[in-house]
Amino acid sequence: MPDAVHMQNVVFGYEPGNPILQIDDLRIAEGKRVFLYGPSGSGKTTLLGLITGILQPQQGTCEVLGKEMTRLSMSARDTHRGSEMGYIFQSFNLIPYLSVRQNIDLPCRVHERRRKRIIAPTLGQETIRIAERLEIAGVLDRGVKKLSTGQQQRVAIARAVIGRPSLVIADEPTSSLDTDRRERFLELLFEVCDEANATLIFVSHDRSLMTRFDEQISIADVNHLNQVRMVQA
């Protein structure tokens, strides 16, 4: 099975001469649900920045969904991210001045490729279809400020999976939810990712969820610099 993500000999630092991430080899196979965990400050978000192409490694190669990110221009990486990846933040996922519907269909309006991959005949119908799956169809025309945290996170899922991206990345998406809602959130996320045939990278420090995933990766195991530092500490 081809890799969704394949990083080799990657070195990255926010300041030159002070690398904080060094990865010899990291593979995430296509279609897998991967649980990425590690303590805060271990470089989880930095790793996600490299995968999404927001950041560029100083050394090494980083192939994501068949494209070598280090060889792409910044705007080509932006386009690649927007049309092939869905991203769910920990909180405050939504554009405050857009309605729920406009928040969900935003990626399809920005990227033609995602719009072409929708399942329903029209974008409006696709939005409703996904919203129904995520039990938020009733709030589609509301302002996002009136939603509960749980509803907001489900709107974020809808936006991440609309137009069937190949890779869905969720950065601590459940940390603002209570335990009951966490389970339901995860179920829904799995359902819609399966439907979209998307690889899922789920980042969390909450290991109670990790058994539900196909693969578990500890950042501490992957990032050699982190290990060194921890040993030193």
Partner 1 sequence: MILLLLAFKSLRSRIVTTSLTVFSIALSVMLLVGVDRVREGTQKGFQGTISHVDLVVGARGGSLPLLLYSVFHLGTANNDISFASYEHFRDHPAVKWTIPFSLGDSFHDFRVVATDDNFYDHYQYRGGQSVAFSAGTRAEGIFDVVLGSDVARQLGYHLGQQITLTHGIEGSFLNHKDKPFTVVGILTRTSTPVDRAIYITLYGDEAMHLGWEHGAPPLVAIPASQIRKEDLHIDQISSFLLATKSRISTLLLQREINTYKPEPLTAIIPALTLEDLWSVLSYADVALSLVSFAVLIVGLLAMLTALYTALNERRREVAVLRAVGLHARQIFTLFVLESTLISAVGMLAGLTAVYVLLFALRVPIETNFGIPLAVVGISTRVAIYMVVVVVAGSLLGCIPAIRAYRNALVDGLNAG
Residue 26 buriedness (CB in 10 A; 0-12 / 13-18 / 19+): buried
Using CB under 8 A as the binding criterion, the count of chain residues that bind partner 1 stands at 31
Instruction: With beta carbons less than 8 A apart as the criterion, state whether 131 and 154 touch.
Output: no
Span of 2-10, 85-93, 172-180, 217-225 interacting with partner 1 by CB under 8 A? 85-93
Nearer to partner 1, 70 or 91 (CB): 91
Of 18 and 208, nearer to partner 1 (C-beta) is 18
List C-alpha distances in Å: 94 to 20, 56, 146, 164: 30, 26, 12, 19
At closest approach, how far in Å is the CB of 16 from partner 1? 15
13 binding partner 1? (CB under 8 A): no
Q: Whose CA is closest to 154, among 215, 138, 164, 166? A: 138
| 109 touches partner 1 (CB under 8 A) | yes
Q: Whose Cβ is closer to partner 1: residue 92's or residue 135's?
A: 92
125-143 exposure pattern, b = at least 16 Cβ within 10 A, e = fewer: ebbbbbbebbebeebbeee
Binding to partner 1, residues 29-68 (CB under 8 A): 45, 48-49, 52, 54-55
Positions that interact with partner 1 (CB under 8 A) = 45, 48-49, 52, 54-55, 74-75, 78-79, 81-83, 87, 89, 91-98, 102, 106-107, 109-111, 159, 171
